[in-house]
Chains A and B, each alone.
Chain A
Amino acid sequence: MKLGGYANRVARVDLSSGEIAYEEINEEDARLYIGARGLGVKYLFDNGPTVESDSPDNMLAFMNGPLTGSQATMSGRLAVVTKSPLTQTITDSHIGGWSAARLRWSGFDGLLFVGKSDKPVYAYVEDGTVELRPADDLWGEGVHSTVEKLRDRYGSPLSVMTIGQAGENGVRFASIINEDDRAAGRGGTGAVAGFKNLKAVVIKAEEAMPRPQDREKWRTAHQRALKTILDSEVLAPRTGGLSIYGTNVLMNPVNALGGVGVRNSQETQYDAAEKISGETVRETLLSSDPTCHACPVACKIEVEIKDGPYAGLKMESLEYEPAWALGANCDNDDPRVIAKLIDQCNDYGMDAIELGNVISMYMEATQREYVTGAGLGWGDTEGMVETAEQIALRSGIGDQLAEGTTRGADKFGHPEIAMAVKGQAVPAYDPRALKGEALGYATSNRGACHLRGYTPASEVLGIPVKTDPLAWEGKGELLKIFQDLHAFSDSLDLCKFSAFSEGAEEYAAQYEALVGQPITADEVMTVGERVYNLERHYNNLCGFDGSDDSLPERYLTETGSGPASESVVELDEMKAEYYAARGWEDGVVPNSKLRALEIIS
């Protein structure tokens, strides 16, 4: 392949036979889909969209982009791409830290796992080779002790991406955790690894950044991108809101909009939001603010619990999403307990957003007397910690809840209390208060998700322009632009935060200088659109259509609180506007669109 930047090497690991083949990257695919999310989805697509998620045929891809591990700011990212056991759609989940960079430095753009090992193994990656090594002594261990054992064994510099007990036990929302506390959180990637008996991916590599094809252009492109970050009032190190407080700086402003779901979205404004906000956490619990490869923002919030039943716990990172899911959503106003629950998620390897929703669903089932037995009351923090453990170990009620919010509610006979779309639970922006997010949840290709198209940038912060969060008109077009832009940055793979300060021009300039392939800002948006449509096409071939672009009934019929007290979601109107902007027919990509985007010839 002529394109620079890439390692031009992917390992295809057949866990059934133990065979490992090394491949170059198809240049045409690299031009069309770039890398990470885009190229990962293409590998999954070529592997066949109709494979069962829990079959050896499903592929689990760890994919870097051409910028991963480079000098580019915020480039410590990779995408884990697979068919989700939670949603049965394509899914991709991104991870920060250093594993992505080390994977690139060890000589790989990606690792593709297929098949199923008959015994637990882990993949050891070093100097352009992959070996499968027995993991019998690690199986049954949590993330923290797995990482510790492997670090003792191999020394540094080492990165470990591993599953905990949740992945081993097939919890449908199990995550893959990177270096103790960074998660490829959503979609159940950890359950796929567990099914394959793949405990971990271990990477040993010294820094070896890819060299830009055009060093002059790179200097200009890199400096401009970096300067936008350093001058960003959102991101700037030590002064930007996200740098100082982390993502949980959003708790108060979203609550002010009436967008913080309380007690499983029965209300949308939380009296105790301040107690679990980024401001309070910084004041009372913060111990450090770690960062990822090539990132000056350092948004991670490491905390130390000084008192109460979890005194002595040191963990990262207390983010907005879990603070909502395990806090307001469950009527738990104690940030120390939120920290404990997130650490459980990190150690068992589970998605904190789904866990919060499955617990709040269980709490509502208890409130409405749908459960036999004592159930779990709102704000019962000890019960939450116990339930989290039961889920990871699939013991007692945990076995039912380990199936996820949608399946768990079905088993109670009350699907209406599952706040989920396509089987994946909602994140921390109530759809009634932010209509762009409502549409984003409904149409996301991986089930409810705030990161496919992050409209709160516009609806809460006014970046790049302020839109009325309660208005639905125009959100279809707005969402499409956000989704396409993010699909491109996810394919580079740069952190989502980069998009607060960089746009298509900055992405194009960095790609062009590093890879040596000209690209315009318009082409950046077209690539993003292509990736988004390939995902949608994959899902269409699995049987998904417009009827699956839905929302829980509650958001369509019950109003919220505060500024959202008169608001329900105008879903049909928004979907019509969105499909028109996308050129889709009832949620299905027509062949003409697939051809126009060069997805099919």
Chain B
Amino acid sequence: MVEVKFYATLRELIDGNKSVSVEGAVTVSGLLENLIERYPNLQGGIFDEDGNIRSFVAVMVNGRDIRHLEGIDTALQGGDTLDIFPPVAGGSQSESMATSVSIRGLPEWLIREYFVELGGAVPDKTQPLNQIVSDRWSVTWSQQKVKIKGSSGMGLTQFDIVIEGTHESPQQIMELFMKKAQRGGG
């Protein structure tokens, strides 16, 4: 049996529950199919029109984002825990060992600097540019271009950031990061 936890707005799609147990799924893909049979509204909450997992939805297996595993083909075993985060910002308040956020308006070098200021190791040249590691947590991000609806004149780069923690709550690191990343405008 695998336990699947849902967060924030996704809970509305599973009748207000916080988690659901699923029997017999051997991959993430199979598990999601099973869930959507039970809760058809989840289809639009998790998948886009092309049947891919929506870009800001984060699916974690035992605290690891499946983007860094085998994607929807990631194998599951009894006792695994899944976390599914909706496309909202600010990280989740769960007890999970991973948390995610999607941010815009910051250049990548500044994201890197912020995480170094929070205790991450200064990356050497062998490391990927989208990763900062400390001895208590690690953070990775992917980026995508988003078009502002209705505008021909503006597009923004969005960074989908995932913090995983080992000894320290990743939510705490996320909170400190978001204080640094707060922006306004006008």
Interface residues of A (CB under 8 A from B): 227-228, 231-234, 241, 244-245, 249, 252-257, 278-279, 450-451, 453-454, 456-457, 460-467, 481-482, 485-486, 489, 496-497, 499-505, 521-522
Contacts and interface: CB of A to CB of B under 8 A. Distances in A.
Given A252-B150, A257-B150, A450 B186 contact: yes
B184 A253 contact: no
Interface in B76-94: 87-90
A234 B105 contact: yes
Nearest to A245: B153
B47 to A, nearest CB: 19
A253 B158 contact: no
Contacts of A228: 106-107, 110
B69 interface: no
B156 A463 contact: yes
A465 B89 contact: yes
Interface string B151-169: 1111111100000000000
B150 A253 contact: yes
B181 to A, nearest CB: 5
A10 B57 CA distance: 54
Nearest to B105: A463
A465 B186 contact: no
A496 B184 contact: yes
Given A454-B184, A457-B185, A503-B183, A464 B105 contact: yes
Query: On chain B, which size bracket covers the interface?
Result: 20 to 34
A282 to B, nearest CB: 9
A500 B157 contact: no
Contact of B153 (A241, A453, A460, A497): A241
B105 A241 contact: no
B184 A499 contact: yes
Given A233-B157, A503-B181, A505-B180, 19 more contacts: A234-B156, A241-B151, A241-B153, A255-B150, A451-B186, A456-B185, A457-B183, A457-B186, A461-B104, A465-B178, A466-B102, A482-B184, A496-B184, A499-B184, A500-B105, A502-B183, A503-B182, A504-B180, A521-B179
A461 B102 contact: no
B185 A234 contact: yes
Contacts of B184: 453-454, 457, 482, 485-486, 489, 496, 499-500
B146 A462 contact: yes
B123 to A, nearest CB: 18
A467 B158 CA distance: 14
Contacts of B101: 465
Nearest to A256: B150
Nearest to A456: B185
A463 B129 CA distance: 22
B59 to A, nearest CB: 19
B103 interface: yes
A234 B146 CA distance: 13
B186 A461 contact: no
A462 B151 contact: no
Contacts of A254: 150
Contacts of A454: 184-186
Contacts of A233: 105, 154-157
Nearest to A500: B185
A456 B185 CA distance: 8
Contacts of A457: 105, 183-186
B88 to A, nearest CB: 8
With a 10 A CB-CB cut-off, give which of A232, A254, A481, A505 has the most chain B CB atoms.
Answer: A505
A499 B186 contact: yes
Contact of A253 (B110, B154, B178, B182): B154
B158 A252 contact: no
Contacts, number: 134
B179 A504 contact: yes
Contacts of A481: 182
Nearest to B107: A231
Contact of B154 (A234, A255, A489): A234
A395 B105 CA distance: 48
A453 to B, nearest CB: 8
B171 to A, nearest CB: 15
B107 A485 contact: no
B149 interface: yes
Contacts of B88: 465, 467
B186 A486 contact: yes
Contacts of B153: 241, 244-245, 249, 252, 278-279
A233 B107 CA distance: 9
Contact of A463 (B150, B152, B185): B185
A455 B106 CA distance: 17
Contacts of A521: 179-180
Contact of B185 (A244, A496, A505): A496
Contacts of B105: 232-234, 457, 461-464, 500-501
B37 to A, nearest CB: 27
A460 B148 CA distance: 8
Nearest to B155: A233
Interface in B94-112: 101-107, 109-110
A232 B107 contact: yes
Nearest to B113: A224
18 contacts: A232-B107, A234-B156, A241-B151, A245-B153, A249-B154, A253-B149, A253-B151, A255-B150, A256-B149, A457-B184, A463-B104, A463-B105, A464-B181, A465-B89, A465-B90, A467-B89, A497-B185, A499-B185
Contacts of B107: 227-228, 231-232
B159 to A, nearest CB: 10
Which 4 A-B pairs have CB atoms at the shortest separation, nearest pair first? Answer: A256-B150, A465-B89, A454-B186, A499-B184
Contacts of B87: 466
Interface in B8-67: none
Contacts of A482: 184
A255 B149 CA distance: 9
Contacts of A253: 148-151, 154
A464 B103 contact: yes
B178 A464 contact: yes
A161 B107 CA distance: 37
B8 to A, nearest CB: 10
Contact of B102 (A231, A249, A465, A500): A465
B182 A485 contact: yes
Contacts of A504: 179-180, 182
B67 to A, nearest CB: 19
Contacts of A232: 105, 107
A225 B179 CA distance: 16
Contacts of A453: 184
Nearest to B145: A233
Nearest to A499: B184
Most chain B CB within 10 A, of A252, A255, A463, is at A463
